[in-house]
Structure 1
């Protein structure tokens, strides 16, 4: 976590505290890099969750292109229910997403509303630029 993203932690922790059953909150770049996360996640688990959430968003975008109207430039909201919890993902700024892991009995409607509120708060301040390949030094 960089000094710039440490300021997000208290906002992420506040979301976790507002909704009973939220276990983890993470901000990630579109390409799957963690930007900031709640304290319960160590860096390795945050990296794992960021990669997983990025993959889900990528699948959502592909499904939209193939089976939807294909009009979405960026993936919208995604929800994955699994044994023992739910993963919710929404856009949170240009090139960034907000992911939340909840317990199975959590009110996902309330969690989603709180996520949207947080995304609006951080959207203007958060920008995850796409990575560009470095130029070949031999060229």
Structure 2
């Protein structure tokens, strides 16, 4: 099995776990795992590729701001959970393993405590699988 095939299999397994989180948590519309630098790793059904890319970029930016706030005004240890409320919904983001984050879009009237609890529970159970190694330049001339 090639590296690409192994990664694809792992992504499909994570997709299934993300679907479970979505289905067991009332009000959750979309779930996404992203790298620290804003690349989507796996998503739930119903979130198309373009929206997933957009959500990954937004979540990475918000987590970056959270990290900056922690460094400037907190203990500087790292970013914790972040939440953004917008007309029609909520975006919750939690660290999910080394170099990765778990993001959820939930209904505006969703139970934020339950959503966050289920997100953190999932990360505790499978966080090692949600890690994303830093990207490195390859021999193909691609930039990191």
Q: Normalising by structure 1, report the TM-score.
A: 0.90
1:2 and 1:53 mapped to 2: Cα distance? 23
2:43 and 2:70 mapped to 1: Cα distance? 28
Could you say which residue in structure 2 is the equivalent of 1:49?
A: 55
Q: Which residue of the other structure, out of 7, 10, 17, is the alignment partner of 1:4? A: 10
Unaligned runs of 5+ in 1: none
Q: Higher mean Cα deviation, 55-64 or 119-128?
A: 119-128
1:37 and 1:117 mapped to 2: Cα distance? 18
Pairing 1:65–2:71 present = yes
2:123 and 2:23 mapped to 1: Cα distance? 16
Aligned length, in residue pairs: 134
1:6 and 1:100 mapped to 2: Cα distance? 18
Could you say which residue in structure 1 is the equivalent of 2:4?
A: none
- CA RMSD, Structure 1 to Structure 2 (Å): 1.6
Runs of 4+ in 1 over 4 A off after TM superposition: none
1:53 and 1:2 mapped to 2: Cα distance? 23
